[in-house]
Chain A
Amino acid sequence: MADDRPSIEEILAMARSQDGDSGGPADTSEPADAEAAPAAEEAEAAAETPEETPEAKPSKPAAPAAKPSGVSDILAMARSQDSGGASETPAAEEAETPEETPEAKPAKPAAPAAKPSGASDILAMARAQDSSGTAETPVADAPPAKEAAAEDDEPSSESPASAGDGSRPSVQEMLQQLRQTDGAGQAAGPVSETTSEKPMPVRPAAPEAPVAPPTPGRRSVLVALMLAPTQLIATPFAMAWTALTAACGAMVLGLARFMFPNTLVEPPMTFKIGPPSDYPPESVSTKFKAERSIWIVRSTMYNGQDQIVAISTVCTHLGCTPNWLEGEQKFKCPCHGSGFYKSGVNFEGPAPRPLERHGLQLAPDGMLEVDKSKKFQEELGQWEDGTSFVSS
């Protein structure tokens, strides 16, 4: 069967050759023809490599095949092939499409009986032929199915096109295009097996839908509720899911526990930094930078008053830690070059706003006390706040 399958190149070649005479076949029904036109354009766009076209042409003769004229002809042919088809590789085919064979079998006896009612029957029949091993005439048995499907006015004539099994997606797409291109009559050639067998497995699946159970009484609901937990370990599959859910839940709980440590090693937000006399006028103290991320600045620069402030060491541009440059009397950020005056006000580089202040108060014992839980932003006017500085 694998040998019968067309390679991608053959399909492309066929698409190209059919693209050439897509308007041709006489027995093409009208709507199908209308569909074929845009599809042909698509095929043309897909196969644009011009130098390959001549090479592809010779493969065309594979396409044309005997065209039966009606449903009865198809049936006759199906029957004769059914009975007389000398199977060359039936085992191989059945092995590769095991799930289709049982479904196809019932269709076979139906075929001799009277007339098939629609495209689906014919398709099933074609598939039955297929499974009974008419491997030497794969070209011949495809067109009946195709034609009948197209002549039938049901929308189901489109169904082969929608067969997207995913087994060979690229080939499927090309096949679909090919089918649209050749309208109704042109032979699908060696690809017929795939076209006829693909849509079928879907259909019989429907009746197997679970039937709604009878409405339970009050007591049985209670029993069901009590027995419900046992469903969690009823099958290995359920047990696996239950175990996974439990493990994930335990992990989340552990994570939540992690957020509340027994001891907090970070220093308290409120701490004392010594008396105001430690900070001479116009000075910047960097001694708390490493441990507390603050500078203690005493300056008259901001508004003329002699203030002691605690300035945060986080650059307002992107959060790096600037350095205090004593010689230049400025804070300078090493990441993008933002510069701040001693007062913390930005003046160069990309920082959009001044450095932030932390709370600073004179404790009752005469020591300066920093409160890092508070922050004061100049651009919001918070530097006017009395707890953002200590006057000296």
Chain B
Amino acid sequence: MQVDPFIDPHPNLTPAVLQGLGWLYLVLCAMNLWWTIRVYREDKHVMVPVLNIELPRATFWALYTSALMIVGFMHVSWTNEDYIDRFPLVLEPGGPFQTAIDFVVANPVTYFMISISGTIAVLWFRKFLVQPTVGWILLNAAVLFQALSMTDYDFRQIVGKPDNVPIVALLYLVGGFTWLYFYKAVENDRRLAEWDGEGPIPVLENDENEKVLVWPDLVYSELICMIAITTLLIVWGIVLEAPLEEPASSAKTPNPSKAPWYFLGLQEMLVYYDPWLAGVVFPTMILGGLMAIPYIDFNRIGNGYYVFRQRAFSIITFLVGFITLWVAMIVLGTFLRGPNWNIFGIYEYWDVHKLEALNNVMLSELFYLDWFGQFFDMPSYGNDDPMGKKVSMILLRELPGFAVIGIYFVALPPLLAITCLRTFYQRMGYLRFMVFTQLLLWMAALPLKMVLRWALNLKYLVNIPEYFFNI
């Protein structure tokens, strides 16, 4: 059956899509051909359990590569539009796979849990994950997942949008560089554990410390990189056209209205915090905090080479902050936020009328109405009351919120100093420790507020709309 745009305006498959995917599979096939040769040269064998014969490991990779080639050619040669709906390798709309994934990612709670537990899992299983074979399998899995998902119209709309292409590249780049870091760090950890303390430190970086000349070695490399990047940008600029939209109008905001991709983390913060906090205070704290790291850091070892154990705290803090609180927020904002800033699954149609029941409340309302309604009355004031009464009533109303924030920022640092961060306090001294804990608490404030929003529907801890002060 031919695809008729009037019958189905959102076709899952078109000949162009099959062509593109075919080439993607063929590229993946070529990559795996290289990998198969690499494995073959290593000449390792593996015992097949059932057949009880020993085969070279390259056999399995060769089989997989052949399968990819067949799949690739099948895509490329499937040009007959009449039979396009009979193409076998397509995600059936509404299938269990898509439903399960949509269920997981379209809910901020599960999404956040997945991102944080994924980060912890990467840290925990780093020795397993840094094996080259595991890394290669992960890369293949990611590409296959994306290729198969491309047969879904809604997924294609989100991922294929010219604006969002950098984010797809970013996912692969972040994954690749994180893997590379752990690969080197695990190796250096191993070497340092075996080191007897004699001689130069036996890290990877010292294996090849021959110095080269700035001119010509470095300058030539830079020139080549410059040309390569320029070429890439030109090709990108020609192939992916800039998404032109209707003329701007102050009365009409695009729906959804998204910040540039690198600011989507900030936009996600704005969902949970007042503009002056999420737009001014948090970015300032992030920049200032990043600049303060060298002065806070008291760890004298682990500089100049990749390592995990010697700098475990710094690296865990950084990875959680960068991957969970920044990259994951960018991904959420790019791929999952749809019309009306509702969260949609990656295979879900962007329905403007999707209804998400949210009835956000303030902490003062929870405190005075829900939790302790029988003991206290909600402090209120009339319009004609004198200024002093108004202010005191507002302060009394927001007392629970101020108390929570006071405990968080004033009482927690000393508490941490005598409990779980005791060694930090001893090594850092009072002032540095206070700066450090404040920054840490600010960083933790975002996920905590998110949890409060999901658990209690809490909008603001302190809500003084009368004076534009909300926390």
Contact = CB atoms under 8 A, between A and B. Distances in A.
Interface of A: 51, 289-291, 293, 313, 317-318, 320-323, 325, 327-328, 332-337, 339, 347-350, 352-353, 379-381, 384
A145 to B, nearest CB: 37
13 contacts: A318-B270, A318-B275, A325-B353, A328-B353, A334-B256, A334-B257, A334-B341, A337-B358, A347-B360, A348-B358, A350-B270, A350-B273, A379-B465
A313 B358 contact: no
B291 interface: no
A293 B460 contact: no
A392 B250 CA distance: 31
B52 interface: no
A334 B339 contact: yes
B249 A318 contact: no
A323 B383 contact: no
Contacts of B459: 350, 352
Among A51, A313, A327, A337, the one with the most B-chain Cβ atoms within 10 Å of its Cβ is A337
Contacts of A290: 249, 251-252
Interface of B: 200, 249-257, 267, 270-275, 279, 339-342, 352-353, 355, 358-360, 382-383, 459-460, 463, 465-466, 468, 470
B184 to A, nearest CB: 22
A336 B274 CA distance: 11
A352 B341 CA distance: 17
A339 B257 contact: no
A327 B353 contact: yes
Given A290-B249, A313-B251, A384-B383, A347 B465 contact: no
B253 A381 contact: no
A313 B250 CA distance: 10
A292 to B, nearest CB: 8
Contacts of B339: 334
B254 A337 contact: no
A51 B251 contact: no
Given A333-B253, A352-B463, 5 more contacts: A290-B252, A337-B341, A347-B359, A352-B465, A379-B466
A334 B255 contact: yes
A350 B352 CA distance: 19
A348 B359 contact: yes
Contacts of B342: 337
Contacts of B252: 290, 321
A293 B251 contact: yes
A350 B271 contact: yes
A318 B253 CA distance: 12
Contact of A293 (B250, B272, B340): B250
A380 B383 CA distance: 8
Nearest to B270: A336
B253 A335 contact: yes
A321 B341 contact: no
Contacts of A381: 382-383
Given A320-B253, A352-B460, A332 B340 contact: yes
Contact of A335 (B250, B257, B355, B466): B257
A361 to B, nearest CB: 21
Nearest to A320: B253
Contact of B355 (A318, A328, A384): A328
A103 to B, nearest CB: 39
Contact of A349 (B251, B360, B468): B360
Nearest to B267: A336
A337 B251 contact: no
B253 A336 contact: no
A384 to B, nearest CB: 7
A334 B267 CA distance: 12
Nearest to B268: A336
B251 A321 contact: yes
Contacts of B251: 289-291, 293, 313, 321
Contacts of A335: 253, 256-257, 267, 270, 341
Contacts of B340: 323, 325, 332-334, 337
Contacts of B341: 333-337, 349
B279 A318 contact: yes
| 10 nearest CB pairs, A to B | A337-B341, A353-B465, A334-B255, A381-B383, A348-B358, A379-B465, A321-B253, A332-B340, A290-B251, A352-B470
A313 B256 CA distance: 16
A201 B254 CA distance: 67
Contacts of A291: 251
Nearest to B457: A348
A138 to B, nearest CB: 29
Contacts of A347: 358-360
A317 B341 CA distance: 14
Contact of A352 (B249, B267, B274): B274
B275 A317 contact: yes
B257 A348 contact: no
Contacts of B470: 352
A317 B360 CA distance: 14
A365 B156 CA distance: 57
B274 A51 contact: no
Contacts of B358: 337, 339, 347-349
Nearest to A288: B251
Nearest to B273: A350
A339 to B, nearest CB: 7
Contact of B253 (A327, A334, A339, A379): A334
Contacts of A318: 270, 275, 279
A333 B339 CA distance: 9
A291 B359 CA distance: 31
A316 B460 CA distance: 15
A293 B252 CA distance: 9
Contacts of B274: 350, 352
A353 B466 CA distance: 9
Nearest to A379: B465
Nearest to B353: A327
A290 B257 CA distance: 17
A172 B468 CA distance: 54
Among A335, A379, A381, the one with the most B-chain Cβ atoms within 10 Å of its Cβ is A335
Contacts of A333: 253, 340-341
Contact of B254 (A334, A336, A380): A334
Contacts of A317: 270, 275
Nearest to A354: B465
A304 to B, nearest CB: 19
A54 B406 CA distance: 57
Given A328-B353, A332-B340, A350 B272 contact: yes
Contacts of B249: 290
A273 B465 CA distance: 31
A328 B255 CA distance: 16
